Amino acid sequence: MKTLVLIVNRLIWFFPTVLGLLAIVFFISHVIPADPAAFVAGENATPETIAAIRARLGLDRPLHIQFVRYIQSILEGEMGRSIYTGRPVAEDLLGRLPATLELTFVTIVVASLIGIPLGVVSALRRNSWLDHALRVVTIAGLAIASFWFAILLQLLFSMRLGITPLSGRIEGWGPEPITGFYLVDALILWDLEILADALHHMVLPVATLALPAAATIVRFTRAGVLNALESNYVLYETAMGYPRRLVIWKYVLRNALIGTVTQIGLIFGILLAGAVVVEAVFDWPGLGLFAVSSILNSDYNAVMGFTLIAGTMFIVVNLVVDIVQGMIDPRETR
């Protein structure tokens, strides 16, 4: 029952949140000094031609009227057409969504497998040389700019050593599309060559995105474990003579990982934002690269469509995190 109330509460706030997000992005994108009608018309177009295109696209109307019309089209299930590709925005987004989701999910898995154990070790060996080293590394991981780190990885591992691909999602053609996720489709078809190639292309993008994500997970896991170790119930179990390993695994980790699980949900949104830059650097054919191209071309419909998809995914993921958090600690759903 508590979980149902939580879901209903999140759904109530879903529409105002998405509406506010769309409003902010819409008005910011439209006040930028760029004219998509001029882009469509071409360099040699006359002012009359540009004005006609602006009228056809509805760009000559007041901003609030354009926004209301856009919301109406969204409610009707229509995102409009991309000025850059000429195709429906929904079709462009759905075609690129699996690439971004696959990259994001793999990054979260890698960051969690690295960050959680290191966070636990850092807390259990508090103020040791290993703890200090991990804290320095995590601070550096959060401070390093993703685009700069991505270029360094390309220069070292692709151009200097030649052990990883420079860019792209796969060499040649991908597997027969079933789910759109290359790793999943390759496993379904049991094509190990394509699977290995897809994993090979993911090494550098995942490493770039996983560095700040793992750093965040390490810091929150460490803080959670330290708080749990100092709690009364852990001190009681230790005083009763329970083995330290049992106390850590049974009592400490379950309570310490509550904050970490919440952060993993927030990291999903951070990865979506970071993917915009990383996908552009690695020419990864996902939502991020599409968003960058749309912004550069003042493709309003495409930018708004990306905002809607990204915002919706972020809200849904945080709802799932809240449910999982309630399963780990039922007190969280009260």
**pLDDT band for position 120 (50/70/90)?**
confident
Query: Does residue 20 lie within any of the structural domains?
Result: no
> Would you say residue 15 lies in a domain?
no
Report yes or no on 21 lying in a domain. no
**Predicted local confidence at residue 334, as pLDDT:** 47
| Predicted local confidence at residue 331, as pLDDT | 56
In this prediction, residue 143 has a pLDDT band, given cuts at 50, 70 and 90, of confident
Per-residue confidence (pLDDT) for residue 155, from 0 to 100: 93
Task: Determine if the pTM surpasses 0.85.
Answer: no
Residue 203 has pLDDT above 90, yes or no: yes
**In the chain, pLDDT over 70 holds for what percent of residues?**
88
HSE at residue 308, side-chain half, CA atoms within 13 A, is 23
Annotate 27-73 with DSSP letters as a single string: HHHHHSS--HHHHHH-TT--HHHHHHHHHHHTTTS-HHHHHHHHHHH
Instruction: Compute the average pLDDT of residues 108-126.
Output: 89
CB-facing half-sphere around the CA of 89: CA atoms within 13 A: 23
Residue 124: what pLDDT?
Answer: 84
pLDDT at residue 109 above 80?
A: yes
Integer angstrom CA distances of residue 198 from 32, 67, 123, 164, 183? 38, 40, 36, 11, 7
Residue with tokens 């299930």: 77
CB 272 within 8 Å of CB 104: yes
What pLDDT, on a 0 to 100 scale, did the predictor assign at position 154? Answer: 93
Write out the residue range of the structural domain in which residue 191 sits: 89-333
What are the Cα distances from residue 241, in Å, to 123, 231, 235, 238, 248? 21, 16, 10, 5, 13
| Burial of 71 (C-beta count, 10 Å sphere; 0-12/13-18/19+) | middle
**Residues forming beta bridges with residue 88, ordered by sequence position:** 81
* In-domain check, residue 32: no
Structural domain tally of the chain? 1
Least confident window among 1-5, 81-85, 95-99, 218-222: 1-5
170 inside domain: yes
Q: With respect to residue 149, please indicate whether it lies within any of the assigned structural domains.
A: yes
Whether 301 is covered by a domain: the verdict is yes
Lowest mean pLDDT among 25-29, 70-74, 106-110, 275-279: 25-29
Q: Return d(Cα 313, Cα 294) in angstroms, integer.
A: 20
Does 234 have pLDDT greater than 60?
A: yes
* CA 47 centroid distance within chain: 41
CATH number for 261: 1.10.3720.10
Cα–Cα distance, 79 to 85 (Å, whole number): 14
Looking at every residue in the chain, the average pLDDT score rounds to: 81
Distances (CA, A) of 194 to 12, 169, 172, 187, 293: 43, 11, 10, 9, 28
**Count of all residues that appear for the chain in the document:** 334
Whether 49 maps to a domain, the answer reads no
Whole-number pLDDT of residue 107: 92
